[in-house]
Structure 1
Amino acid sequence: MIQPLRNEVESAPVAIAPMGLGATLKALREAKELSLGEVSARLKYSGRQIEAIESEQWDSLPTGVSLRGLVRNYGRFLETNTDALVSMLDSQVGSTGARPVAVSSPATLGAADVSLQNDPVHRSWGWLIIILILLIVAAFYAIERGWVPDSWLVFDWLRSLKK
């Protein structure tokens, strides 16, 4: 009897090197068939910055929160998990988040810090005058139209405006 031939191909385990942030972003961009120019135009970052992210040239990119924002925007544009991208960024570059600042004891104001004379307040009297004129014009218009009751008109010359 004839036995079917078995092709037993021993597949060697393929060692997949973990991809860095730049390679991940580049692979996602290429999967969506987007060019660097399209990404650059959409994100409003220069093509050199996008290339620097994809080639992981961190020294030519802004640091801190700006870099995190750039990576988040790029990830959002590629419709991927931005939190995972930021954690990859932190593992490669170091923590880029806002660092807490140690607050020393609250400073007290000394005698030299307090002004002995009050600084004059510069207010624009023009607006006050314009508002006052508008209120007077509105009042005379209301009297002339008869919208104001006679009991409110205490002066005779105001009553004469109503007639």
Structure 2
Amino acid sequence: MADEAGIEGTADTVQGALEMDGPGAKLRRAREAKGMSLADVAIATRVAQRQLEAIEREDYAALPGIPYAIGFARAYARAVDLDEVAVASDVRAAVNQSTLGANRYEMFEPADPARVPSRTLAWTAAAIALVVAIGFGVWRAQLLTAPTTQQVSEQQQTAVPASNAAPAGAPPAVAPTTGPVILTAVDDVWLRIYDETGERLKDGLMKKGERYALPDGAKDPMILTGRPQALTVTVGGKTVAPLGPPDRTIADVPISAAALLARQAPPAAATTVAGQAGTSPATAPSPAAAGTTPPASNP
């Protein structure tokens, strides 16, 4: 009986020592029982070996923070077939009793450190997203920005005014050809076509090769676009001059057949030949002016 009581007392002492062991010691004994080294556990959990050593020493201050201490311990426990929930609870209690427990602002725990993306990958993804956002913003701003006063002035200066009257003596002008106005996209281009009342006749993206015929009854139609060079305009099947300079936003540019043909009319002569107007016909010089005397008359 005395021997049995001694054996039971020894077992109780060993069990009590096991229960008093910290989570680091439990993890280390489980690792040794499986014949694994710290390097093996590091490979299985993708946790740095120095951080696993800190967990075994229960030196939680050497870890990045409370969530990582608990997350690394859970991964370690899974690798050596221990109850990860119990180990995490022990680590949490040990951390709260240490100096690291004062840092309470961290509210998350990585469930599996192997699934946490690296810092380099996170920064790379953030940089790519930022570049894409900036590029989209610049493209959108260029597409929808209204033309400035200087741009509108330049567009008006490029239009060639039609002469009100033909110069004196000029042959009668040939009546301009009229016909349907057709816009053809030679590249993808956004545009807006509207009439004098503000009604939008077409608003959106024209794909490359797409054609749009201006309605016959449109009243003073005008166009807004940021890429006039992407449009080919014809009147009665004849191509007219570009609507504006390349990659410059144009607005309120008339595109009726009459307005487009007026842009093609040659400018009137800037000057007239001296003496052509306001002078009388030339007269023959008098004999005196020619330096001769008339012949004397017979008596």
CA distance in 2 between partners of 1:81 and 1:71 (Å): 11
Residue 36 of structure 1 and its aligned partner are, at CA, apart by: 0.9
Task: Choose between structure 1 and 2 for higher RCO, CA contacts under 8 A separated by at least 6 residues.
Answer: 1
CA contact (8 A) 2:60 2:69 kept: no
CA distance in 1 between partners of 2:46 and 2:189 (Å): 45
Residue 44 of structure 1 and its aligned partner are, at CA, apart by: 2.2
CA distance in 1 between partners of 2:55 and 2:188 (Å): 58
Aligned residue pairs total 112
Select the residue among 57, 60, 63 that pairs with 1:58: 60
Q: Tell me the SS of whatever aligns to 1:123.
A: helix
Question: With structure 2 as the length reference, what TM-score do the two structures score?
Answer: 0.31
Q: Tell me the SS of whatever aligns to 2:6.
A: coil
1:84 corresponds in structure 2 to 86
Structure 1 counterpart of 2:81, which letter? Answer: E
Residue 78 of structure 1 and its aligned partner are, at CA, apart by: 2.3
C-alpha change, 1:130 and 1:47, in structure 2 (3 Å) is farther
Residue 29 of structure 1 and its aligned partner are, at CA, apart by: 1.0
Percent identity of paired positions between Structure 1 and Structure 2 = 26
Select the residue among 75, 97, 107 that pairs with 1:98: 107
1:11 corresponds in structure 2 to 6
C-alpha change, 1:129 and 1:44, in structure 2 (3 Å) is same
Q: Identify unmatched segments of 5+ residues in structure 1.
A: 1-5, 100-120, 141-156, 158-163
Structure 2 counterpart of 1:72, which letter? Answer: R
Q: Which structure's residues are more often helix, by fraction?
A: 1
Select the residue among 130, 139, 145 that pairs with 1:123: 139
C-alpha change, 1:9 and 1:60, in structure 2 (3 Å) is same
CA distance in 2 between partners of 1:8 and 1:81 (Å): 35
1:46 corresponds in structure 2 to 48
Larger-Rg structure: 2
Residue 85 of structure 1 and its aligned partner are, at CA, apart by: 1.0
Alpha carbon RMSD of aligned pairs, Å? 3.5
What are the superposed Cα offsets for residues 99-124 of structure 1, whole Å, 9 maximum, x if unpaired? 8xxxxxxxxxxxxxxxxxxxxx5235
Structure 2 counterpart of 1:98, which letter? Answer: M
C-alpha change, 1:9 and 1:49, in structure 2 (3 Å) is same
What are the superposed Cα offsets for residues 66-100 of structure 1, whole Å, 9 maximum, x if unpaired? 2121112212222332211111011111167628x
C-alpha change, 1:86 and 1:123, in structure 2 (3 Å) is same
CA distance in 2 between partners of 1:23 and 1:130 (Å): 70
2:24 corresponds in structure 1 to 22
C-alpha change, 1:122 and 1:82, in structure 2 (3 Å) is same
Q: Which structure's residues are more often strand, by fraction?
A: 2
Q: Tell me the SS of whatever aligns to 2:31.
A: helix
Residue 20 of structure 1 and its aligned partner are, at CA, apart by: 0.7
C-alpha change, 1:130 and 1:30, in structure 2 (3 Å) is farther
Structure 1 outlier segments of 4+, above 3 Å: 6-10, 128-133
Q: Identify unmatched segments of 5+ residues in structure 2.
A: 109-136, 144-186, 191-204, 212-236, 238-299
Residue 7 of structure 1 and its aligned partner are, at CA, apart by: 9.1
Structure 2 counterpart of 1:86, which letter? Answer: A
CA distance in 2 between partners of 1:43 and 1:9 (Å): 44
Question: With structure 1 as the length reference, what TM-score do the two structures score?
Answer: 0.54
C-alpha change, 1:8 and 1:86, in structure 2 (3 Å) is closer
Residue 9 of structure 1 and its aligned partner are, at CA, apart by: 4.8
